[in-house]
């Protein structure tokens, strides 16, 4: 345990880590941070490391959390009352009253600590609600319980709709004493400008392959990763642990790859009827699966574009254009509003078919 505490538990992101370490050393830790960067690279972990280090009762000589004091242990187990995580809730949360038996308690515990990405999109609310913010604000007048500082970490802060965000605004403007906010997001542009302007932004990039491999190796057991597959997962992950984990389930991966092949076949055959069928099928895919299918398609077209770059430049240009079309589709689906997945996909197929150099 002690080895994996605080900033030591964070792989990569050297610039972000040293910025925060310096802030602690100089007693200039910001009240409101925006952690912005790709999904699945460890932003949330760094937010927790920061909270842990700030509250640790026995920091190491180099200013890191000890990993062994009560505060460190509680923070690592997500049980510290002064580290509040705000994220989208389950549509159908397990009822407190039902937690009387051990199995329900175990389930509730699993839900709390489970990697967020593993909860099917369909089980989650669309956004962080106004009620959640109101509840949070009722806690603000009180001093932190055990820690010297209180931390409020927003996962997927872009899921704060304007109504909820506006409720939060004043508190971000004048944060309660000893309270810090970290807004974590892969889509900073989706946040209100009024919110963003109050944050000190810390940018995250993709991880180096070695760092992705190290995270997967260190967490192999808790992440259910087969050590024999780590190299494959690293290659598929493209610098993101979260993305690498999408490919952990080999059967699911086969199914997605089959969908990719169908799309490519449909493009070659080119009968619009197939597009409708494919669009309908895509509508039924889990959001993560759909994301992954689009990612694989994008990667295929980019690979083709590179492959033909010198010998068949026209072919290469068509494939580059196709990769862009898939990327645009992805951002459209990420856009926050609930798009009609089937129509968006059908439109993508038509554009892919018509793509010209
Ligand atoms: Zn400690």
Q: Which residues contact 282 (CB under 8 A, 6 or more apart)?
A: 259, 290, 293, 341, 342, 345
Q: Which residues surround ligand 1, an ion (CB under 5 A)?
A: 56, 65-66, 69, 72
Å from CA of 3 to ligand 1 middle? 12
Residue of 38, 39, 133 lying closest to 84 (CA atoms): 133
Give residue 90's pLDDT: 85
Residue of 91, 85, 87, 83 lying closest to 160 (CA atoms): 87
Å from CA of 186 to ligand 1 middle? 29
* DSSP annotation of 90: B
Å from CA of 2 to ligand 1 middle? 9
The four Cα atoms 34, 39, 40, 44 give a dihedral, to 10 degrees, of 20
Å from CA of 67 to ligand 1 middle? 5
Got the DSSP string for 105-167?
A: HHHHHHHHHS-GGGS-GGGB-SSB-HHHHHHHHHHTTSPPSSSSSEEEEETTGGGB-HHHHHH
pLDDT per 10-residue tile (average), the chain, 357 residues: 74 96 96 96 95 94 93 90 92 63 62 65 86 94 87 95 93 94 95 95 96 93 89 90 87 85 83 73 76 88 87 90 92 73 85 82
Å from CA of 284 to ligand 1 middle? 46
Å from CA of 224 to ligand 1 middle? 28
CATH number, domain 249-354, options 1.10.10, 1.20.272, 1.10.3470, 1.10.1760: 1.20.272
Å from CA of 69 to ligand 1 middle? 4
Output phi, psi for 189, to 5 deg. Answer: -70, -15
Å from CA of 116 to ligand 1 middle? 25
Is residue 302 classed exposed, middle or buried when 0-12, 13-18 and 19+ CB atoms within 10 A define those classes?
middle
Output phi, psi for 355, to 5 deg. Answer: -55, 135
Q: Which residues contact 145 (CB under 8 A, 6 or more apart)?
A: 81, 82
- CATH architecture type of domain 2-89+125-205: 3-Layer(aba) Sandwich (3.40)
**Residue pointed to by tokens 């509003």:** 337
Give residue 94's pLDDT: 65
Tokens encoding 58 = 């026995």
Å from CA of 113 to ligand 1 middle? 20
Give residue 344's pLDDT: 86
Cβ count within 10 A of residue 144: 18
Query: Which 3-state string (H, E, C) describes 8-35?
Result: HHCCCCHHHHHHHHHHHHCCCCCCEEEE
Å from CA of 150 to ligand 1 middle? 15
* DSSP annotation of 37: S
Residue of 181, 156, 185, 202 lying closest to 82 (CA atoms): 181
SS3 label, residue 87:
coil
Cβ count within 10 A of residue 185: 22
Give residue 13's pLDDT: 97
Å from CA of 62 to ligand 1 middle? 13
Q: What is the CA angle 13-32-115, rounded to 5?
A: 55
Å from CA of 54 to ligand 1 middle? 9
Q: Could you state, in order of their start, the residue ranges of all structural domains in the chain?
A: 2-89+125-205, 249-354
Q: Are 70 and 110 in contact (CB under 8 A)?
A: no
Give residue 108's pLDDT: 61
Q: How many CA atoms lie within 13 A of 316 on its CB side?
A: 9
Å from CA of 138 to ligand 1 middle? 28
Å from CA of 173 to ligand 1 middle? 30
Å from CA of 147 to ligand 1 middle? 11
Give residue 128's pLDDT: 93
Å from CA of 66 to ligand 1 middle? 4
Å from CA of 148 to ligand 1 middle? 12
* Alpha-carbon span 357 to 349, nearest angstrom: 16
Å from CA of 85 to ligand 1 middle? 20
Helix (H) or strand (E) holding 183: strand 179-185
Give residue 181's pLDDT: 98
Å from CA of 49 to ligand 1 middle? 11
Is residue 246 classed exposed, middle or buried when 0-12, 13-18 and 19+ CB atoms within 10 A define those classes?
buried
Give residue 2's pLDDT: 40
Give residue 3's pLDDT: 47
* Alpha-carbon span 96 to 108, nearest angstrom: 9
């Amino acid at each position: 345990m002690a080895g994996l505490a605080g900033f030591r538990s964070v792989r990569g992101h050297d610039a972000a880590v040293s910025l925060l370490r310096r802030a602690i050393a100089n007693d200039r830790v910001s009240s409101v941070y925006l952690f912005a960067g790709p999904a699945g690279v460890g932003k949330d972990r760094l937010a927790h490391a920061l909270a842990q280090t700030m509250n640790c009762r026995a920091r190491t000589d180099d200013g890191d959390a000890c990993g062994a004091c009560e505060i460190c242990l509680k923070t690592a187990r997500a049980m510290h009352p002064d580290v509040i995580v705000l994220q989208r809730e389950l549509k159908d949360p397990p009822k407190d009253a039902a937690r009387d038996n051990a199995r329900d308690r175990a389930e509730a515990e699993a839900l709390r600590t489970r990697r967020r990405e593993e909860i099917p999109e369909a089980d989650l609310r669309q956004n962080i609600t106004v009620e959640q913010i109101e509840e949070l604000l009722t806690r603000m007048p009180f001093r932190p319980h055990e820690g010297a500082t209180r931390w409020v970490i927003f996962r997927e802060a872009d899921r704060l709709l304007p109504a909820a965000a506006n409720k939060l605004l004043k508190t971000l403007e004048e944060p309660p004493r000893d309270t810090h906010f970290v807004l974590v997001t892969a889509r900073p542009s989706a946040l209100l400008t009024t919110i963003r302007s109050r944050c000190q932004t810390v940018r995250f990039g993709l991880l180096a392959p070695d760092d992705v491999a190290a995270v997967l190796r260190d967490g192999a057991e808790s992440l259910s990763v087969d050590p024999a597959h780590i190299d494959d997962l690293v290659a598929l992950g493209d610098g993101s642990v979260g993305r690498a984990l999408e490919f952990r389930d080999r059967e699911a991966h086969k199914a997605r790859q089959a969908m990719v092949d169908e799309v490519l076949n449909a493009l070659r055959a080119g009968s619009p009827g197939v597009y409708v069928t494919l669009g309908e099928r895509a509508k039924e895919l889990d959001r993560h699966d759909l994301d992954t299918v689009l990612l694989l398609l994008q990667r295929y077209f980019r690979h083709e574009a590179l492959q033909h770059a010198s010998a068949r430049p026209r072919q290469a240009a068509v494939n580059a254009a196709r990769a862009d079309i898939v990327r645009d589709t992805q951002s459209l689906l990420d856009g926050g509003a609930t798009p009609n997945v089937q129509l968006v996909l059908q439109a993508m197929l038509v554009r892919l078919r018509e793509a010209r150099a």
